[in-house]
Amino acid sequence: MSYFVFYNDDVKVATFQVEHSLITDYQPLKPELLPMQIRNTSADGFSSWIRERAVDLNSVQHRNLMSELVGSRDKITLALRTHMFSISDTFTCFEEGAFVPRLQLCRPEDQNEVSNFILVSSDTSLRKLKVATPNASTDGSFTKTWKYEENAWWLYKIQSSAATEAEVEISRVLRNCNWDAAEYAYVGRFRKRVKTCNFLAPHEFFEPYDSFRFFFDDRSDEDDVIYRNLASLGPAFEAAWKRILLADALFVNTDRHMRNFGVIRSAITGEVLRLAPNFDNNQAYLANPSGMYSIGMLKMYMNNADPEDYNNLQTLSDELKKHPYLKDAYDASLLYLKTK
């Protein structure tokens, strides 16, 4: 049996035991610094949370990487051997007595070698690097990897050119409106790759709503429950969520599941700081599953619109007229503004 310590930003927040790749015990030490999903849970509940941190094995690149680097595809084993490290939050774990500070755990030059393996699927003899974490992917349908460049971490994603164009152009419009949205940029001539800059400041972590919902009494995935829960955090959270909902409706984003939005929390105090920015629009606009634009989602949303929604739509419309690619969305915005 092995004894592990779970850390948030190098502070001990829980302990657990592992026997034959199974979590046999889990004891929170500082619940206020833990994700809501595992503040009060069992060893089985903690195991479920750990599995979500393992490298996604849906793509051949990631499976090859795990064979090269770790030699296992068991998700608990993968998470433990990579110390649960992720760029998108501040958690790590180590066997008792074997702690390494977070900043030393994953050197950018090592991570970039791993990233190149993912992006080109070539054999770079990664095993000899003894990299603590590949940090190769988060869950999802597309191959992803983090790279360090321009003094920041960027998440690269391989996808269709339609998905990339939708993601970059929607992000550009939202940011030009001074709305909180992740920064996306094209990579390469054929637009088969896109990159987005890490939106976390030092000592902050992202908690997806799928985990954060355990903070509330009602944890269901009903739209009105999610709205009510986020609004209860304060006016700024409600206003930010309404902007995300309107943008999803206008741009036909069909993929706003509970891991594609969430909150930013302090790794020092556990405080909920703000709603995470709008991100992951690669199945929106003409990249949605139908490949066609429709006003159906906007029509449903505007049926219950209030003055704030119309003001938000006006802001978007004013910016959209500068972007020919998004003309269908612009035309839809004009249609509903005329009926105000």
pLDDT digits (tens, 9 = 90+) for 115-155: 877 777 545 555 555 555 555 445 556 778 888 998 999 99
Separation CA 103–CA 113 (nearest Å): 18
| Residue 146: CA count within 13 A, CB half-sphere | 24
Q: How confident is the model at residue 183 (pLDDT cuts 50, 70, 90)?
A: very high
Give me the residue spans of the domains in the chain: 2-128+135-153, 209-338
pTM of the model: 0.91
What pLDDT is stored for residue 24 in this prediction?
92
Q: Identify any residues that bridge with 194 across adjacent strands, giving them in sequence order.
A: 157, 186
Q: Percent of the chain scored above 70 by pLDDT?
A: 88
Rounded to a whole number of angstroms, the distance between the first and last alpha carbons of the chain is 66
Pairing of strands 272-275, 262-266: antiparallel
Q: Is 231 exposed, middle or buried (0-12, 13-18, 19+ CB in 10 A)?
A: middle
CA dist 336 and 188 (Å) reads 37
User: What is the CB-side half-sphere exposure of residue 59 using CA atoms within 13 A?
Assistant: 23
